[in-house]
Chains A and B, each alone.
Chain A
Amino acid sequence: MFRGGGIGGGGGPKGPVGGPMGRLGRSLYSDEDSGSGKVYDSKVIRRLPEYLVPVKFRLITGAVGMGVRSLASLAAPYLIAIGTDDFIQTGDFKGLTLIVLLYIGAALFVWAGQYVQTLNLSYAGQSILYRMRVEMFDQLQRLSMSFFDRNQVGKLMSRVQSDVQQLQQLLTTGVLNLLTNMLTLIGIACVMILMNARLALLTLTVVPALFCIILVWQKYARRAFTRTRRAIATVNAELQEGISGIRVTQSLSREKINVQQFDNVNKANLNANLDATKLTAVMMPTTEVLNAVATSLVIGFGGYQVLQGDMGVGILLGFVLYIQRFFQPIMELILDYTELQRAMTAGARIFELIDLEPEIRDVDGAIDLPVVKGEIRLGHVSFSYKQGVEVLHDIDFKINPGETVAIVGQTGAGKSSIANLIARFYDVDNGEVDIDGHDVRYVTQQSLRRQIGIVPQDPILFSGNIEDNIRFGHPQTGRDDIVWAAKAVGAHSFITHLEQGYETMVGERGGNLSAGQRQLICLARAILRDPPILILDEATSNVDSNTERLMQESLKQLSRKRTCIIIAHRLSTVTNADRIIVLDQGRIAEMGSHNELLSRRGLYYSMFSALSAPGKMSQSAS
């Protein structure tokens, strides 16, 4: 009956919570413990029919099973009562045998009823959960990039995982127990009243008292259990950081302080749990005493009635047995109460995600972009991630098919935003982005992105082998094409040197491959479809100089027959471009070839000389 803190997620409420700075737009608002705490949330309840109707057959069958079970289980004490009064006391052994057979029959019905109930309601619950999981995942595939800027991966994960899990408790065991318990309670009350109305009413006077106690109790309990969830989340966050930051910790000899710090949060967790336990445990003597009061009322007044001859002793026995069964469901109701609250909050969070409208959708009648030559035009584009904070102002340029254009500028100048707009990860605020004369907003996203190869800054690999990662979602592509792509980017030689070659498994974070090797695989992936447009979005900024050189060499080949956009902050990588666009605070500051820009002695020149300016040490030493 203990409900200590479960395993919290990684994210504890330790620091200020929020997305990356500057992109805190509309995001999913409800946080784990800031939920309404309501047991009944009409927003959630209103959405349920949509999910319940498809499984109505299961639900109805399950409900029938539940009814049978509850009725049959009610019969048992009554049969004992009858057996005692009418047969044992009269010495009617045949009658007693009949009662015993009836008793076993009732037990069989309980078994069958419960079987039908559990099976069907589990089917229904699991179907709903399955559907919700898939709907959430599909929704995440539909949502635009801007959504992912605002919502951290960890939090989204917890929605699809913990929240669904939480709801599972409600849908499978929770509702099941709740309804059965309610039904049983009402049933017991009815039978007792039928058996002996006066004694029943007297006995049931403890019920209102119990409910009052529970009402007060759950208020404290809710708070205490919320605290335990927070505490364990903090412990886990601390633990996670202690492990991931171990290299820094050891190099600065901070182990002892960390151990002390961990002990603090660990102890806070201990105390929160002990407080919560006290609250749970205190309900034991409370229900126990109320149970006893009810029993003693039955014995006292019932016994008196038996003496008076108003009631058989079997009825008395039946009452005692009913009371024994009465308090179990009440205890369970108490414990389910907090579960119900959490499930309701979880439900609200799930629907919030499912109901979000993606910001970028294919317009009605969007056409498939035909195979392009690769002309890109940004016409007076302005753009902001967050309303009011424009990151691109009036950007206007045209890239010719087959041209290689570099976009340079400081962090925050808007380089990556341009790439994002070309692939339509975001929509422009003003102006337009055209590819071969087609506005990207009027073509299907799929036909657009299929013709653009993008290599992002972080080399992201999925679990699977290298071949799968290069193939990424093109199951029909043969080994020859994959080898071709790997050769084209200069990855073939290192791949064949691996023990398992193209079948080498790459794990969560790319396994044993270096950042450079991972990036080469990503480049191969981008090139596999031979896209007419290739965008390298800071693709070389995380790789060592060796790999960078390798990538540059292959780019020389790759850029020949396609439009190529290279976004970089390391200027050494862009000197060979046909044209360089220099961005400064969201505006085009300069445009031209490397030599033209140098001779212009403008921003590019000063950036370039800052890069090459000798440091103090080099001066003093030479």
Chain B
Amino acid sequence: MKILLRLLFFAGRYWVLLLFAFTCLIGTTAFGMAVPWVIRTAIDTVMGHGESSFLFLAAILIIGASAMRGISAFGHMYLSEVVSQKTAYDVRNAIYEKLQQLSFAYHDKNQTGQLMSRATVDVEAIRMFFGRGLLHLGQLFFLFTGVATILISMNWRLALISLAFLPLIGFRAAKVALRLRPIWLHIQQMLGFIGTTLEENLTGVRVVKAFCQQGGESRKFNTQAQDLYDSQINAARQMAFNMPFMAFLISFPTALILWYGGLQVMEGNLTIGGLTQFMLYLGMMVMPVRRLGGFANMISRAVPAGQRILEILDTKSPVQEKPNAIELEGFKGRVRFKNVSFSYNSKDAVLNGVDFRVQPGEVVALVGSLGSGKSTLAHLIPRFYDVDSGSITIDGIDIRTMKLSALRRDVGIVQQDIFLFSDTIKQNIAYGDVDANIERIVEAAKAAYLHDFVKSLPDGYDTWVGERGITLSGGEKQRLAIARTLLTDPAILILDDSTSNIDPGIEHLIRQALDKLIKGRTSFIITHRLPIIKNADLILVLHEGLLVEQGKHNDLMAGDGLYKEIYESQISAVDTKESI
């Protein structure tokens, strides 16, 4: 219930529109109820006095009332849809904005597909509830009240007979809808499974073919499709019995009215016109009552959907900007890690008491085996995560007291997984600075040694990349990411270069681009490229979250620590090439 109230709050800002919508709804109901009354009067006049003059008036009245009814029906349909669409629009925006703000810790835990389904399926469920759900409920309420009042005043016994059935039917409809719900859910789930099987099969098509598993995959799919079929049939069976049963139940009061009402007419307690009016009103009630089932279904969908959406909206990002955060103009680039400890789950420390200083313009190489905490350390500097204890300062200022945008503007990062947006190369380079003109973009591309490649494409800088564009090789992607970072000209640079997805012919290009990138900036580099490590101003050797060694190459080689061991076993493999 709390969830429903909070959801209503979303639509609440459109209360004026809602009010109009419901006013129109009352109009629709009232004008709708006028028509059977006119018909009754017409019939009774004809039967009673044999007078034809009223017939023309009745015809005009019917058309008039119906026209009014149509207009107000347009009003309530349109207005309620406006409210529901606007609410969906607001909720979508709110979700998007929240997701943009939530820090990495949140996105690490939540898969894209999951979040997507909340922003699409769940928002749709809520929209349906606000659009059709509330409307149908209102319609039923007004109609029931109006019809009940009139019928009772006309002939209370007859009214009781005809109306007593309706709550029963509504109740039954809701019950059936709720019973169908788990079946529908199962069907949805099966569709999800089938989707996963399909997606895996299609992405892994080479593996499937290489291993001759077409038959096995078909069998797997067939089993799931069969299960889906069974559930669908199960649902169909429920529907096939219950939907017509509902119609049958509704025909009962009609039959009773014909019977008892007919008796009343014979006894002179009711006119033929009155009987007709009863029957027409009953006809009007049929659809709204049957829709109660749909409404029950909508609510039972909207509540969990709302819960999932509110879960997102209520999440507080662990990385919060302080209210009086400082906005700095340009760093020098002095970085200090003061006894920093960090864990992703506040249990298993990934970094433990890391402590070091870096002077402006220095190149820092991060070395260590997989899972030693190199990338984690790098991600702490732009404050993608907050440290558990200790502090990180830049130019002597704790990064937690700075404005996030200011901090990140001056800390550039080239990540290991390079993500490109479905957009042109130009827009991808300018991603961090949308105001950049084409000259600056070209300049950045040139500096990243990407320009010649871009020029070789038929559409040049307007070539589409990303999911719906051309596929770039690892090296091209990396240079594009370098250009993207160069454009923002950060004082501090973080480069995650641990995979070397590079074509041999252009290896020197990458290296030159990297040289350009590093120049004049404080740089943190995770790499296997020996020249960079050897010439770094500071090498940080990490092992299971501890900073075990730090210093220059020669100093570390002079000792007999982990660096020397790693160097000899791992790095020397690359080194042999150097010697040729």
Whether A97 is near chain B, meaning CB under 8 Å from some CB there, is yes
Once bound together, how far apart are the Cα atoms of A145 and B221, in whole Å? Answer: 20
Q: For the complex, give the distance between the alpha carbons of A536 and B254 in Å.
A: 77
Which of B191, B226, B251, B573 interacts with A107 by CB under 8 Å? B251
Question: Given A307-B46, A454-B210: A103 and B531 within 8 A (CB)?
Answer: no
Contacts of B107 in A (CB 8 A): 243, 246-247
Given A93-B263, A248-B431, A452-B210, CB of A299 within 8 Å of CB of B58: yes
- A-B contact number at CB 8 A: 497
Which residues of B have CB within 8 Å of A138? 218
B244 touches A237 (CB 8 A): no
B251 near A153: Cβ-Cβ < 8 Å? no
Partner of B504 from A112, A547, A610 at Cβ < 8 Å? A610
Task: Determine the chain B residues whose CB is within 8 A of the CB of A153 once the complex forms.
Answer: 199, 202-203
Known: A157-B195, A288-B67, A572-B573. Contact between A251 and B412, CB under 8 A? yes
Contact partner of B208 (CB less than 8 A), chosen from A119, A141, A408, is A141
Question: Of A11, A84, A262, A608, which is within 8 A of B96 by CB?
Answer: A262
Residues of B within 8 A of A273 (CB): 81, 85
Q: Inside 8 A of B504's CB, which chain A residues have their CB? A: 408, 410, 569-571, 607-608, 610-611
CA distance in complex: A425, B210 (Å): 8
Q: Is there an interface contact between A617 and B247, defined as CB atoms closer than 8 Å?
A: no
Minimum Cβ distance to chain A for residue B195 (Å): 6
Task: Decide: A613 and B508 in contact? CB cutoff 8 A.
Answer: yes
B488 to chain A, nearest CB (A): 6
- Which of B162-170, B235-243, B539-547 sits within the interface? B235-243
Residue of B nearest to A69 (CB): B244
Quick check: A96 and B259 within 8 Å, CB to CB? Answer: yes
The answer to whether B464 has its CB under 8 Å from any CB of chain A is: yes
**What residues on A are CB-neighbors of B384 within 8 Å?**
247, 250-251
A618, B119: Cβ atoms closer than 8 Å: no
Contact of A316 among B43, B433, B528 (CB under 8 A): B43
Is there contact, CB below 8 Å, between B73 and A278? no
A306 close to B46 (CB less than 8 A):
yes
Q: Which residues of B contact A549 (CB under 8 A)?
A: 569-570, 573
Tell yes or no: B127 within 8 A of A by CB.
yes
Q: Which residues of B contact A122 (CB under 8 A)?
A: 232-233, 236-237, 239-240
Check A569–B503 contact: CB distance below 8 A.
yes
Contacts of A69 in B (CB 8 A): 244
A454 touches B206 (CB 8 A): yes
A295 contacts partner chain B, Cβ-Cβ < 8 Å: yes
Contacts of B19 in A (CB 8 A): none
A252 and B408: CB pair below 8 A?
A: yes
Nearest A residue to B422 via CB reads: A15
A contact residues, range: 35 or more
Known A145-B209, A157-B198, A286-B70: A4·B127 in contact at CB below 8 Å:
yes
Indicate if B434 sits at the interface (CB-CB under 8 A): yes
Find the A residue at minimum CB distance from B193: A463
Q: A96-B259, A617-B531 are in contact. Are A253 and B233 (CB under 8 A)?
A: no
Q: C-beta contact mask, B542-577 vs A, less than 8 Å → 1, else 0?
A: 000000000000000000000000000110011001
Whether, in the assembled complex, B426 has its beta carbon less than 8 Å from a beta carbon of chain A, the answer is: no
A247 touches B419 (CB 8 A): yes
**Are B78 and A277 neighbours in the complex by a CB distance under 8 Å?**
yes
Identify which of residues 99-117 in chain A touch chain B, using a CB-to-CB cut-off of 8 Å.
Answer: 99-100, 103-104, 107-108, 110-115
Q: Which residues of A180-239 have CB atoms within 8 Å of chain B's CB atoms?
A: 235-237, 239
Question: Which of B298-306, B351-359, B389-397, B510-518 contacts the other chain?
Answer: B510-518
Assess whether B176 is interfacial by the CB under 8 Å rule.
no
A130 an interface residue at 8 Å Cβ cutoff?
A: yes
Are B512 and A284 in touch, CB under 8 angstroms?
Answer: no
Chain B 48-81 residues near chain A, CB threshold 8 A: 50-52, 55-56, 58-60, 62-63, 65-67, 69-71, 73-74, 77-78, 81
CB–CB A111/B419 < 8 A = no
Q: Which of B4-12, B97-105, B151-159, B330-338 contacts A (4 or more CB under 8 A)?
A: B97-105
User: In the bound complex, how far is the Cα of B208 from the Cα of A460, in angstroms?
Assistant: 10
Are B59 and A612 in contact, CB atoms less than 8 angstroms apart?
no
Q: What residues of chain B lie closer than 8 Å to A255, measured between beta carbons? A: 97, 100-101
- Rounded to whole angstroms, the CA-CA distance of A52 and B431 in the bound complex is 54
CA distance A46 to B433 in the complex (A): 56
Stretch at the interface among A317-325, A372-380, A385-393, A480-488: A317-325
B469 contacts the other chain (CB 8 A): yes
Question: Are A263 and B202 interface neighbours, CB within 8 A?
Answer: no
* Contact in complex: B96, A285 (CB < 8 Å): no
Residue of B nearest to A543 (CB): B499
Inter-subunit contact A253/B408 (CB<8 Å)? yes
Say which residue of A161, A280, A525, A546 sits within 8 Å of B191 (CB atoms).
A161
1/0 per residue, CB under 8 A from B, across A591-610: the answer is: 00000001000000001111
**Contact A103:B570 (CB < 8 A) given known A145-B206, A292-B66:** no
A96-B258, A254-B432 in contact; A84/B275 too (CB < 8 A)?
yes
Partner of B81, one of A16, A83, A99, A281: A281
What CA separation (Å) do A303 and B39 show in the bound complex? 10
- CB of A622 within 8 A of chain B? yes
| Residues of B close to A145: CB separation below 8 A | 205-206, 209
Q: Are B415 and A253 in contact (CB under 8 A)?
A: no
Asked if A541 lies at the interface with its beta carbon under 8 angstroms from chain B, I say yes
Partner of B46, one of A11, A303, A546: A303
Closest residue of chain A to B97 (Cβ to Cβ) is A259
Nearest CB in chain B: distance from A271 CB, A: 9
Using a CB-CB cutoff of 8 Å, which residues 124-147 of chain A contact chain B? 126-127, 129-130, 133-134, 137-138, 140-142, 145
Q: Which of B124-183 contact A (CB under 8 A)?
A: 124, 127, 131-132
Chain B residue nearest in CB terms to A7: B120
- In the complex formed, the residue of B with least CB distance to A127 is B229
A321: which of B71, B265, B279 is its contact (CB, 8 Å)?
Answer: B279
Decide if A252 touches B432 in the complex (CB within 8 Å).
Answer: yes
Task: For the complex, give the distance between the alpha carbons of A269 and B119 in Å.
Answer: 14
| Stretch of A29-37, A508-516, A559-567 with 4 or more beta carbons under 8 angstroms from chain B | A508-516
| Contact status A618-B279, CB under 8 Å | no
Say yes or no for B468: interface residue by CB 8 A criterion. Answer: yes
A-B contact pairs, 14 of them (CB 8 A): A6-B124, A15-B422, A15-B469, A20-B471, A129-B232, A141-B218, A156-B202, A251-B384, A253-B404, A288-B67, A292-B62, A472-B207, A544-B528, A610-B504
9 A-B pairs besides A88-B262, A303-B55, A460-B200 with CB distance below 8 A are: A6-B124, A15-B422, A111-B248, A241-B421, A285-B73, A295-B62, A303-B43, A313-B47, A611-B577
